[in-house]
Structure 1
Amino acid sequence: MATVKPTYGPISSYSRVHILHLVQTQSPRTIAELCAATGLHANTVREHVQRLIDGGYIIQETERRTTRGRPRILYSAATGKPEASSPIAREKAAAAARRGEMLRRALPETAGSLNAEESRQLDALIEHYEESGFEPVINEEQLTVELTPCPHAAALPEHRPMLCQVHLGLMQGVLAQARGPLFARCVRTPSSPEECTVELERTAL
């Protein structure tokens, strides 16, 4: 049986994943709203949010007020779309594309059947998941991303649906940020906790 590696990086903490899920499902959010939803102290929430901003998963903006009073800081999920794009995520996607293209030029046999846009998207996706402790395996013919063994296999069963939904949302954001036709459609229902396979599809741009 394959060894399940621990997660690390900005989304290694369950609390950060929970916060990310909250902003993915409803944006924008304030620190006070995130505190109320998680039960965490404001300082703890701010620390988690900053890690997520630094990782390119969350963006912040200052509220535009039409009345008197101090504007609030609002937090939203970075989706890769123009209206919700993180500068950090943009640079990550661009850097991954540069490295992927250099590899394909140096080792032409590594070039697959995908076009340049699709390859650029998968370059970004692979680096994103390697950063998070996964070892992604891409099947270009079936358009799947195999993430088995899942580092979250030891998570409580009641937490798994949220974890899967967060990672699907992240994958959709990475693919959108890299610009191309590939879209993360769903996470297959696993037959064991260690299994994790994501199905991709091509969509019209």
Structure 2
Amino acid sequence: MGERELVDGAPGAPLGASRSAVLEVLRAFGPLGVREAAERTGLHPNTVRLHLDGLVGSGLAERAAERHADGGRPGRPRALYRAVRGDEGEGVRSYRLLAQILTSLVAGTMDDPSGAATEAGRVWGRYLADPPAPFQKVGPGEALARLTAFLNGIGFDSRAGDDLVVRLVHCPFREIAEGDREVVCPLHLGLIQGALAEMRAPLAADRLEPFVEPHLCLAHLSRTEAAPDAPDA
């Protein structure tokens, strides 16, 4: 693999719709905290936090601790984010190389790399997904719509049909997955499983079929019994 393939694209590379919306509110109203940015975009705070960190990583935004003229409030200061000018965000990013290093570490040092990756995906899927309102019943159709929106929000191009198969046309980690399927693909399956659990969806993700075509993976779902109204205390 050549050196150019180990660095990320320029900061001007296209952003997804959700991340672009977060960047626009930073440019218009920043600096903002996570909650203010979530209110202005209509996205869940956990999703906004993910996009804000991504914008910081790509050099399009910067993060700083809030300062108060009166000496500060008790406790940890919250983080504020602001968009940066184009000339401030220049420079090479090598997060693909970092991803390859960490993925190879999991694959080469853990007894069960696929199991560890799946569990990590489940935890992060629950953290990043938007839960329904208390006692809200989520049907299979709504669950599929929520799942595809969740996946698209983190960089996939996902499409779901009545056959309970989610078609992942674009994988944002494709270059890494091609070399370390035993880590990246189970991670993706775990993300879907965790997101469905957080949504209290009557669906389960049974398996992920990677690269059925060069740019297509399939997530196979199945119906389950109705989810409980709320998670156990």
Relative to the length of structure 2, the TM-score reads 0.42
Query: Which structure would you say has the larger Rg?
Result: 2
The structure with higher relative contact order (CA 8 Å, sep 6+) is 1
